[in-house]
Amino acid sequence: MLKAQKRATGSFYTCLSIADYIVRWAITDEDTKVLEPSFGDGSFLYSAITRFNELGRFDPQIYGVELQEEPFYNFVNTNDTVECSLTDFMDYRPNCGVDAVIGNPPYVSLRNLSTQDRNKAISLMSKYGIDMPPSSSLWMPFIVHATEMLNDNGRLGFVLPYEITYVRYAFKLWNYLKRNYGKLSIYRVYTDFFPEVDIEPIVFLAENKGGCTDSVEYKTFQDITDLFCGKTIVNSSIPIADISSLNKPFERELISPNVKEIISSLREEGQLTSLLGECKFKIGYVCGNKSYFHPTQDTVKKYKIKAENLIPCLINSKDINNQSNMGLDTINAISESRLFYPTKMGKGEKAYISYGEAKQVHLAYKCKIRNPWYITPNIETPDIILTVFGDVPKMIANTGGYIIANSLLCGIINNTKETSSKELVCRWYNSLTLLLIEMYIHSLGGGTLVFIPGEMDKMEIVSDYPKAKINDVFERLNECMISKGVSDTYLLGDELVLKQIYNLSNADVQEIRNSLDILRSWRRPDLRR
């Protein structure tokens, strides 16, 4: 199967060793009835046949389902042990209950399915009492549909994306799972065993169908050998209620006990607080057509657009990162970008609007739903600007008064708080912030962090900051940003903020950095491969 087709159908095949592990866990005796709902290249089916042969059973009851014709016939043409069905698993109904479901369901968003297939999955989940949004992924209905086929005390073992531990659409799934299984387990393996996909795979095990539980067994392993040997790095229990709290409990368990205690102590002493209480983050403005709404200097001259109809703006992170003289504020920013915002209409502005209509800019979705189409809504001048992508985001004070586009986050400071933009920046730059980012902010495929308003609402930052220290610390951090860059500025913040203001020891700061390295290494597949 071509790589593009694999991505479109979510068909990425499982390494045999992981299939063997799940199969040996799931098949407990020779009479186990087994179902594989998307067998692909047959890894799980071959492992199941081998497992039954070891148990002395040469005519096992194994059922396999596959939607794609090529892998289906590749398997059935060489094997007659398994009762195979060429069909969509959403349409599959076995003649009897099964004792074990094993496999690697498709990793594909419902949005990428046809309307018919998407509605089929949503309708099926609705019949099982679960409201599943279109943003969900196909592995979710696979879990539920498979569960409904299990006999009492049955087992389900899947390879799933790690996102099951944190995506919002899975919260209702976790409530379903806690009502239907007596034990749930998530196993993570540091050495990537699924290199074809950008997302991290985990082993998901559910047993004792018909029981119930309030927690998830969580284990991590260095490699597959340690998985088979049971040699864990982390072995803990996570309350299911914590999963829907957006506090990333699976990350929390990876950090050292001493760092957990440091964070807890800072909270109790009022020196660590939610950022939302002081600064609300939101995306910048959405204009609908960046090239049109940010005319070049030549275009401005051609149409004689008045200066009062052009608002100075920063469009993306390049406007921030590529300016060597701009440190931690925008007072020295040099930006030629201007947002076309015609409030005082003249001949030039009318001509430029007509030009936009000739180019059908007004028919773009964001433009055609507003009146007039050429006025960009929700224009605010933020107090704080934050870059959206990367391990070391750049936060700056917007002392230059720029507006920003939606490729950046804008922070509006709560007027009821006595917090300045410079103070917030001083409190931001340190390794504890980077660690908390790992604990609150999720990543895209490939492990790239992306900052969104909803998760920034949960973000914590050091607090109870002495006002007398603001100007001196800000200037020193600012000089470091200009001369050495963002990573060194975070390190300098460890000295100026964590050690000198919050009295953390060298050993404490080093442990924070170590825990940060651990979380980063788990998040980034390039470090795990």
439 falls within a domain: yes
328 has a pLDDT exceeding 80: yes
Q: Do both 243 and 322 map to the same domain?
A: no
Q: What is the pLDDT of residue 333?
A: 87
Same domain, 321 and 193: no
Where residue 247 falls among pLDDT bands split at 50, 70, 90? confident
Give percent helix, percent strand, percent coil of the chain, each to the nearest 5. Answer: 45, 20, 40
Lowest mean pLDDT among 227-241, 340-354, 496-510, 514-528: 514-528
Q: Characterise 153 by phi-psi region: left (phi > 0), alpha (psi -120 to 50), beta (else).
A: left
Rounded to the nearest angstrom, the gap between the alpha carbon of residue 298 and the centroid of all alpha carbons in its chain is: 41
Q: Based on the domain organization, do 241 and 283 belong to the same domain? A: no
Whether pLDDT at 6 is above 70: no
Alpha helices in 129-245 (DSSP H): 139-149, 171-180, 224-229, 240-243
**Residue 188 and residue 324 in one domain:** no
The answer to the question of residue 294 being in a domain is no
Instruction: Tell me the backbone φ, ψ of residue 103, rounded to 5 degrees.
Output: 150, -170
pTM of this structure: 0.89
- Extract the tokens encoding 506: 């060298």
283 lies in the same domain as 211? no
**pLDDT grade for 7, boundaries at 50, 70 and 90:** very low
Spatial separation of the C-alpha atoms in residues 76 and 82, rounded to whole Å: 8
CA 75 to mean position of chain CA atoms:
35
Residue labelled with tokens 């004070």: 397
User: Which CATH number goes with the domain that contains 179?
Assistant: 3.40.50.150
Q: For the chain, what is the mean pLDDT?
A: 92
Residue 283 sits in the same domain as residue 224: no
Q: Give the closest residue to 202 by CA, choosing from 250, 132, 151.
A: 250
State which of 230, 250, 270 marks the end of a domain. 250
In a domain, 342, yes or no: no
pLDDT at 15: 60
Is 234 found in the same domain as 190? yes
Task: State the CB neighbour count (10 A cutoff) for residue 528.
Answer: 16
| Beta bridge pairs of residue 50 | none
Same domain, 401 and 457: yes
Whether 299 maps to a domain, the answer reads no
pLDDT tens digit sequence for 438-447: 999 988 877 8
The answer, yes or no, to whether residue 245 has pLDDT greater than 90, is: no
Band (pLDDT 50/70/90 cuts) for residue 526 is: confident
Same domain, 194 and 328: no
Strand ranges, E, within 354-400: 384-387, 395-397
Confidence of residue 8 (pLDDT cuts 50, 70, 90): very low
Boundary (domain end) residue, out of 233, 250, 267: 250
Predicted confidence (pLDDT) per residue in 71-93, tens digit? 999 999 998 899 999 999 999 98
294 is written with which tokens? 């940010």
Query: For residue range 470-495, what is the model confidence (pLDDT) as tens digits?
Result: 999 999 999 999 999 999 999 999 99
* Domain presence at residue 298: no
- Our count of domains for the chain comes to 2
Structural domain that includes position 103: 3-250
Q: Using 50, 70 and 90 to split pLDDT, how confident is the model at 51?
A: very high
Q: What percent of the chain shows pLDDT beyond 90?
A: 84
- Would 259 be classed as within a structural domain? no
Flag whether 205 is in a domain: yes
Average pLDDT for 274-285: 94
Instruction: Report yes or no on 271 lying in a domain.
Output: no
Structural domain ending residue among the three candidates 250, 267, 299: 250
Same domain, 394 and 460: yes
Helix (H) or strand (E) segment spanning residue 2? none
Which of 89, 148, 143 is CA-nearest to residue 113? Answer: 89
503-250-126 Cα angle (round to 5): 140
pLDDT at 325: 79
Say what the pLDDT of residue 358 is: 97
Query: Which tokens is 376 given?
Result: 């960009």
pLDDT band of residue 241 (cuts 50, 70, 90) is: very high
Lowest mean per-residue pLDDT among 7-21, 203-217, 381-395, 420-434: 7-21
pLDDT tier at 9, thresholds 50, 70, 90:
very low
Q: Are residues 168 and 47 in the same domain?
A: yes
Residue 77 and residue 217 share a domain: yes
